[in-house]
A and B are shown apart, each in its own frame.
Chain A
Amino acid sequence: MKNGLLFDFTVDKTTKTVFITREFDAGLSLVWDAFIKPEILDQWVAPKPWVSKTKFMDFKVGGRRFYAMVSPEGQERWAIQKYTSISPKTNFKYLNAFADKDENPELPGSDWDFNFSEQNGKTKVIITIYNESLDRLEKMIEMGFREGYAMSMKNLEELLATLSQSR
């Protein structure tokens, strides 16, 4: 199903900007809905085995989505997205920040920009993330891939051990 669909991921480390482009085999309206309707978002936005739980979502400029990624053990990681600009079926932007369960954001957040365009029945989504920090990436990675995270911590340990031996 994913065959032949464009996927591009690049990071400009010096400007802390992440560029993600992905094509989907569906029309613009459907793909747009998948990004702005909580009941659809919750079906795909958490990398399994985590699940996404949207507590509330008010898709309008100034409105917010408050949601949690929930681990199989029931651990909750909250985040807030505040919509700063919306052009229906073309573009929307939000400010993304991790938060505690009482909606207190951990500022500063990162700025996300989503662009949608349809061609030949396929929809291209271009996501640009500004002002991303390594700390936040680490957090997302931890949320998404606990095993991968554990592995890289092990790599880091080994790296540090090698470095201290070579001193």
Chain B
Amino acid sequence: MKQDIFQAIADPTRRAILTLIAIQALTPNAMAEKFDMSRQAVSKHIKVLQECKLIKPEPSGREIYYYFNPKKMQEIDNWLAQFRKIWETQFNQLDKVLSTLKKQKK
């Protein structure tokens, strides 16, 4: 099953990682150091973030740097805008229904 983006950003450590690499691309070792975590723990978080494309790896020599992917965040906002639109449509329909019902009562 593909990773749920909401799940990915629901974790405080992963949010911190995103905030950090939004400023500067980092290697897993540098992340482990900054967060005082094991390399293993960092790898798990990286895997989740990478699976939903919130970060992307960029090899540089023998190291891999991870970059923040702002387009993916934008994509979430686009999805949500559509969800908002559905509600707008539904509520406008309800306005019409209510106004009809009000007239019937009179």
Q: With a CB–CB cut-off of 8 A, which chain A residues contact B34?
A: none
| Size band of the interface chain B makes with A | 35 or more
Type the 1/0 row for A20-39, where 1 means its CB is closer than 8 Å to any CB of B: 10101110001100100000
Residue numbers in B under 8 Å from A148 (CB-CB): 82, 85
Please report the C-alpha to C-alpha distance between residue A13 and residue B77 in the assembled complex, in whole angstroms.
10
Contact between chains at A14 and B10 (CB < 8 Å):
yes
Distance from B49 Cβ to chain A, minimum over Cβ atoms (Å): 14
Residues on B with C-beta less than 8 A from A161 are: none
Q: Is B101 an interface residue (CB 8 A)?
A: yes
Per-position binary interface string of chain A over residues 41-74, scored 1 when its CB falls under 8 Å from any chain B CB and 0 otherwise: 0011111100000000000000000000000000
CB-CB under 8 A from B75, the residues of chain A are 155-156, 159
Contact B79 A138 (CB under 8 A): yes
Nearest chain A CB to B3 CB, angstrom units: 9
Q: Is B91 an interface residue (CB 8 A)?
A: yes
Residues from chain A with Cβ under 8 Å of B95 in the complex: 1-2, 5, 24-25
Contact between chains at B89 and A24 (CB < 8 Å): no
Chain A residues near B7 (CB-CB < 8 A)? 133
- Map CB proximity to A onto B20-50 as digits: 1 under 8 Å, 0 otherwise: 0000000000000000000000000000000
A contact residues, range? 35 or more
Q: Are A144 and B71 in contact (CB under 8 A)?
A: no
A24, closest chain B residue (CB)? B98
Q: Is B102 an interface residue (CB 8 A)?
A: yes
If the complex has contacts A14-B10, A15-B10, A134-B76, are A48 and B98 also in contact, measured as CB distance less than 8 A?
Answer: no
A sample of 19 more A-B contacts (CB under 8 A), given A9-B83, A137-B83, A152-B82, is A1-B95, A13-B5, A13-B6, A24-B98, A26-B99, A30-B101, A34-B97, A40-B101, A44-B90, A45-B90, A47-B86, A47-B93, A133-B6, A134-B6, A144-B82, A145-B85, A148-B82, A148-B85, A163-B71
